[in-house]
Amino acid sequence: MRSMTGFGKAEGQYGNTLFFSIEISSVNRKQLELRCSLPPELSGFENLVRQKIGSFISRGAVSIKVAIRKSSNAGFKINTDVLYELINTAKEARMRAGLPVEVNVEQLMQLPNVIVNSGDSGENPALTEAFSAALENAGKDFIAMRYREGEALKADLSSRTDLLEDLLRQIEPLAAKVPEIARKRLYCKLAAEKLQVEPNDELFAREMLFYLDKSDVTEEITRLKSHFVQLRKFFEASEPAGRGMDFLLQEFFREITTLGNKAPSPELSTLVVKFKTELEKLREQVQNVE
């Protein structure tokens, strides 16, 4: 089991000219959402980053930040044509707006395609290899933390599941008595109204069975037990199980709600409310599972 919360970091270098640091972090999200922050010099690697990260993460909001430090002979150069065009465009815009024409050249140099690799990063095998290796190391560190967080999550989810199963064990014997209680209640009402019922009245027997069947929750209890078996299988699954667990807990809610509606005795109602409360806590934790 893996948590959707994680952090990983790795460093790498390209020769003795370029040094980079890669950080990967994530928080909860129903779908996979990738946000890349790369310096202009490495912007050509964005597709590589998205493909590699997407290959081992199924969901969560993932942020990838890359910082670089380079020596004076790093092999990068200023694209003066692009820079001068930006400067002129910025000056014209400021003049039209009635602003001073001074332009912050350093800020303009942070824009894409102003500082470029003398051999484009996407076409530099050695740089690509160095960057990919650092990205993979950061990914391993990131996944390792997700597994550690996942183990803690699994222990908590298992404990909460134990509590729910205990509540179901308390509910089951009380639910089994509900049809008989309902039958006695009906006969008491008939007696209070002084209505006589013939022992061999077939029509009354059929109506009685229909009435008692509406308070029989055997089917709901059986399905809840089956759901518990499936839930524990998810705990040990090697594949991401968060979405499956989320769907299964919706089925839990459906069954326990039906049970509470069909067998509305005071004792049962108290246990059903407690079951739903604990189930909601479990559902909130499952939102953290990948």
List pLDDT tens digits, range 145-196. 999 999 999 999 999 999 999 999 999 998 887 767 666 666 666 667 666 7
pTM for the model? 0.69
Which residue's structure tokens are 């013939």?
Answer: 198
Q: Which of 150, 133, 174 is nearest to 272 (CA)?
A: 174
Q: How confident is the model at residue 66 (pLDDT cuts 50, 70, 90)?
A: very high
Report how far Cα 146 is from the mean position of its chain's Cα atoms. 12
**Residue 120 has what pLDDT?**
47
Report how far Cα 246 is from the mean position of its chain's Cα atoms. 9
Percent of the chain with pLDDT over 90: 49
119 vs 268, residue with greater confidence:
268
pLDDT surpassing 60 at residue 122:
no
**Residue 156 has what pLDDT?**
95
Whole-number Å distance between alpha carbons of 288 and 290 = 7
Structure tokens at 92: 């014209």
CA dihedral 131, 134, 136, 139 (to 10 degrees): -120
Q: How confident is the model at residue 204 (pLDDT cuts 50, 70, 90)?
A: low
Whole-number Å distance between alpha carbons of 233 and 230 = 5
What letters, b where the CB count within 10 A reaches 16 and e where it falls short, cover 8-25? bebebebeeebbbebbbb
pLDDT surpassing 60 at residue 132:
yes
What does each C-alpha distance from 245 to 93, 165, 215, 232, 262 come to in angstroms?
A: 55, 16, 29, 10, 26
Q: How do 60-70 and 32-37 pair as beta strands?
A: parallel
With contact defined as beta carbons under 8 Å apart, do 255 and 223 qualify?
yes
What does each C-alpha distance from 47 to 42, 43, 51, 260 come to in angstroms?
A: 11, 9, 6, 52
Structural domains for the chain: 6-148 (3.30.230), 149-286 (no CATH)
With contact defined as beta carbons under 8 Å apart, do 114 and 78 qualify?
yes
With contact defined as beta carbons under 8 Å apart, do 155 and 280 qualify?
no
Beta-carbon count within 10 A of 60 CB: 26
Q: How confident is the model at residue 214 (pLDDT cuts 50, 70, 90)?
A: low
Structure tokens at 56: 């081992």
With contact defined as beta carbons under 8 Å apart, do 3 and 146 qualify?
yes
Q: Which of 228, 204, 236 is nearest to 278 (CA)?
A: 228
